Amino acid sequence: MEISYSRLKTYRDCPWLFKLLYVDGLYPSLSPAGSLGLSLHRTLERYHARHPEPGDAPDGEAELLDDYVSAWLHRGYQTPQMQVEWFEKGKEILRGYWQMERSRSSKIILVEKEFRFEVRGVWVKGIMDRVDLNADGSYEVVEYKTQKAASSPEEVAGNLQLSLYGLALRRVFGLEPKWQSVLFIREKAKVRAPYNAAGEQALLDLIVEAERKMDQGLYDPDTSHCVRCDFRNRCAYSTAPQSAGDPKTL
Ligand code: SF4
């Protein structure tokens, strides 16, 4: 069994959703927002692979937009017109990102970096968006969010994904994270919180416990996230408001 952040979060939110996605293989179709998010991630990966140092791209905005064109994913849009509209949205987001990028003082040392480590027989894997080395010598795990509104430092401190990636930075790369941050690129805001090494044991326990339950086939539904679930109109356990006649087949 291998566990990634997505699998762990899905199981923690709703074990039944985990079953639908990862056991039954029922992947929901890609939404325009999801597709744009992937295009933006691919763009930033390409751009920062060439430009890790602050201020090392005098014509960076034009380069960023060129990378956007080559990284663009065409899937997820119902009409060509819809695709054009979302493409333009992405361009505006990247122009805003460039404004932030101009004042960056950190060096980017890892970009879309894969990791894999083992804990008590469970393999944990993932891909970090980015790790920065700050001017004061501290390391910072950074994740991009392209759809969400900026959250508080307290929420970033409790972010499961960042905590997992901070743990991986220590275990796999031997680097001590001081900060964990979310870069909300639509909102042009970076929110950071101190990395909490004291929380690692609880995180490892959570991973091992979740894997044990998955292994036992324990998939009890948790309905607290139904309103945002992609299967809310089809799932038999959904408590989200339903349209009349929606077939509940899952
Ligand atoms: S609709 Fe609710 S119960 Fe069903 S899979 Fe989604 S979150 Fe779980």
Mean pLDDT of successive 10-residue segments in the chain (250 residues)? 92 96 92 96 96 89 96 96 97 94 94 95 95 97 87 92 96 97 92 95 95 95 94 91 70
Q: Are residues 97 and 126 in the same domain?
A: no
Q: Are residues 130 and 195 in the same domain?
A: yes
Q: How many angstroms separate the alpha carbon of residue 17 from the centre of ligand 1?
A: 6
- Asked whether residue 76 falls in the same domain as residue 112, the answer is no
- Is 85 among the domain residues? yes
pLDDT of residue 220: 96
Residue that finishes a domain, picked among 101, 126, 158:
101
Q: Same domain for 113 and 169? A: yes
Domain containing 95 equals: 32-101
- For residue 18 and ligand 1, the question of a CB distance below 6 A is answered with no
Q: What is the pLDDT of residue 150?
A: 73
Ligand 1 neighbour 231 (Cβ under 6 A): yes
Q: What pLDDT is stored for residue 59 in this prediction?
A: 87
Confidence at residue 241, expressed as pLDDT on a 0 to 100 scale: 83
Residue 246: per-residue pLDDT: 63
Q: Is the pTM of this model over 0.85?
A: yes
Calpha distance 245→225 (Å, rounded): 22
String of DSSP letters for 179-223: EEEEEETTTTEEEEEE--GGGHHHHHHHHHHHHHHHHTT-----G
CATH number, domain of 181, equals 3.90.320.10
Judge if the beta carbon of residue 232 lies within 6 A of ligand 1.
yes
- Quote the pLDDT of residue 245: 63
Count: domains in the chain: 2
Alpha-carbon gap, residue 132 to 247, rounded angstroms: 48
pLDDT value at residue 151: 85
Nearest alpha-carbon partner for 133 in 115, 112, 111, 117: 111
